[in-house]
């Protein structure tokens, strides 16, 4: 009997452990879904609040309409009571007691009805005031929620962009692109290679010696230099100035 009881206790503990683990997993899944769809949940909550807000506005409109109906009915009662009171007083002055009695009975009924309508109107006005206050407060909260939702959407977009950027940076494509750039930048320059070949050829056939002697002023240069072109331009300018000077003197 004791073994059976111990087995039952262990089984019950195992069930409780599984239930606890299951609740923990459900909570983690709920938190993960809430974090992932937080912006969508915020927007839906705002829509729900706006729906309730519109319903409350409809209720307030109905209450205000009833309040106005009661106010008009009360004004009509006041006018009837004032008119009937005047008539009853006139009947009393003329000694028509039976007419005054009938008027008093009607006045009592009308004044009781007026009191009931006044109480109803007071309650309606109090309800309208409370509901209007709640609507004003709810409207401000909805405005704040909209502003908060704008900020939340901006933060969520930034977070998703950062996550996407991080995922892109973690892919091998970035490393491969960097390797290709380094390979292209480190490749040999073909023009430099051709120039080196020409220098080698010049050294082999001795033309580089002739070029260096010409550049040093020993014999005609083998290539036109920028200094030679500049000297020629200056000489042409001086010759032009010299020819123009006598003409100006005669004038």
Mean pLDDT over the full length of the chain: 77
Q: What does the DSSP 8-state code read for residue 149? A: H
Q: What does the DSSP 8-state code read for residue 218? A: S
Q: What is the pLDDT of residue 131?
A: 93
Question: Residue 202 — pLDDT band, cuts 50, 70, 90?
Answer: low
Please report, for the chain, how many H helices and E strands are present, in that order. 7, 0
Q: What is the pLDDT of residue 250?
A: 54
How many CA atoms does the CB half-sphere of 62 hold within 13 Å?
A: 6
**Other C-beta atoms lying within 10 Å of the C-beta of residue 85:** 15
In sequence order, the 6+-apart residues with CB closer than 8 A to the CB of 168 are: 174
**Domains (range + CATH), the chain:** 37-179 (1.10.287), 190-245 (no CATH)
pLDDT tens, residue by residue, 117-140 = 999 999 999 999 999 999 999 999
Beta strands in the chain, from DSSP E residues, in sequence order: none
Nearest of 12, 162, 8, 251 to residue 20 by alpha carbon: 12
Token readout for 233 is 């331009």
Average of per-residue pLDDT across 182-210:
62
pTM of the model: 0.51
């Amino acid at each position: 009997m004791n073994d059976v009881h111990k087995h039952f206790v262990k089984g019950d503990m195992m069930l409780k452990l599984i239930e606890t683990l299951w609740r923990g997993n459900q909570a983690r899944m709920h938190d993960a879904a809430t974090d992932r769809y937080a912006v969508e949940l915020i927007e839906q909550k705002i829509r729900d609040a706006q729906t309730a807000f519109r319903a409350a506005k409809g209720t307030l409109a109905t209450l205000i309409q009833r309040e106005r109906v009661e106010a008009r009915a009360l004004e009509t009662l006041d006018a009837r009571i004032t008119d009937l009171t005047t008539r009853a007083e006139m009947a009393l002055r003329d000694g028509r007691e039976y007419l005054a009695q009938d008027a008093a009975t009607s006045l009592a009924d009308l004044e009781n009805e007026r009191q009931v309508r006044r109480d109803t109107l007071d309650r309606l006005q109090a309800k309208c005031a409370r509901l209007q206050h709640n609507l004003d407060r709810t409207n401000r909260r909805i405005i704040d929620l909209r502003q908060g939702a704008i900020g939340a959407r901006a933060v969520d977009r930034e977070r998703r962009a950062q996550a996407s950027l991080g995922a892109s940076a973690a892919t091998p494509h970035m490393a491969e692109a960097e390797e290709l750039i380094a390979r292209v930048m480190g490749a040999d320059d073909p023009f430099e290679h051709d120039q080196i070949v020409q220098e080698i050829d010049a050294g082999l056939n001795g033309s580089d010696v002739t070029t260096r002697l010409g550049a040093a002023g020993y014999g005609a240069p083998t290539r036109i230099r920028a200094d030679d072109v500049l000297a020629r331009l200056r000489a042409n300018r001086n010759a032009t100035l010299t020819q123009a000077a006598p003409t100006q003197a005669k004038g």
